[in-house]
Amino acid sequence: NAGVTQTPKFQVLKTGQSMTLQCAQDMNHNSMYWYRQDPGMGLRLIYYSASEGTTDKGEVPNGYNVSRLNKREFSLRLESAAPSQTSVYFCASTQLPGLAGEQFFGPGTRLTVL
């Protein structure tokens, strides 16, 4: 079991460029999440997918789009990157959202936008 995998691990973009962050889980989990982590801000939820075929906005969705490609994969797209999107991005999944539902996190993608 690989758990939650993310690609790429590191990325440098120029302002205005686009890119897609990939996330996959092999635990047959129903719900998947994208967070960003910035110094002093903790984790902030960007988007989540409660189940295959559904996606919803989190706390900070502006500038991002997501696709729940199938039950395993949940991608995050930056259409026109901005320096404010420099951050560490984490994907997470859970089998039991809500009570008792621990989250499993990927290793993160470290993104720098110049």
Q: Which is nearer to other proteins, 37 or 75 (CB)?
A: 37
Residues that bind other proteins (CB under 8 A): 4, 31, 40-43, 45, 48, 50, 56, 58, 90, 92, 97-108
Q: Which is nearer to other proteins, 5 or 17 (CB)?
A: 5
Smallest distance, Å, CB 102 to other proteins? 5
Smallest distance, Å, CB 1 to other proteins? 14
Smallest distance, Å, CB 106 to other proteins? 5
* C-alpha span between 57 and 36 (Å, rounded): 13
Return phi, psi of residue 62, to 5°: -65, 130
**Strands of the sheet with 19-25, listed across from one edge:** 4-7, 19-25, 74-78, 64-68
Q: Which is nearer to other proteins, 17 or 55 (CB)?
A: 55
Smallest distance, Å, CB 50 to other proteins? 5
Q: Which is nearer to other proteins, 56 or 79 (CB)?
A: 56
Nearest to 60 by CA among 83, 37, 39, 91: 37
Burial (Cβ within 10 Å: 0-12, 13-18, ≥19) of residue 109? buried
37: Cα within 13 Å, side-chain hemisphere: 13
